[in-house]
Amino acid sequence: MKNIKDLDYYLYEALDRISNDDLQGEDLDRELARSKAITDTATQIIKGKQTQLRAAELFVKAGKELPQTAQILLGLGEGDGK
């Protein structure tokens, strides 16, 4: 995953894999474990982005300009992984 924009893709791909009716036994167990790892990691990424967003909101609320590095991290400035 290169950036937060890819997150939906990976989550839906994991959902597609575990929704496969042909997947059974150890293969299903392995895919469920993999999907759990993806979901757990995605949760941490989202929490980190929420923290960054909250910090940006506090900057704006305080009437301060958001630093360029914060804009980049939030995908608002140049260098956002495109």
Q: How far apart are CA 73 and CA 50, in angstroms?
A: 11
Q: What angle do CA 46, 50, 52 make, to 5 degrees?
A: 115
pLDDT at 78: 60
- What is the model's pTM? 0.70
pLDDT tens figures, 72-81: 777 776 654 4
pLDDT per residue, tens digit, the chain (82 aa), is 677 778 889 999 999 999 999 999 999 999 999 999 999 999 998 999 899 888 888 888 898 888 777 777 777 766 544 4
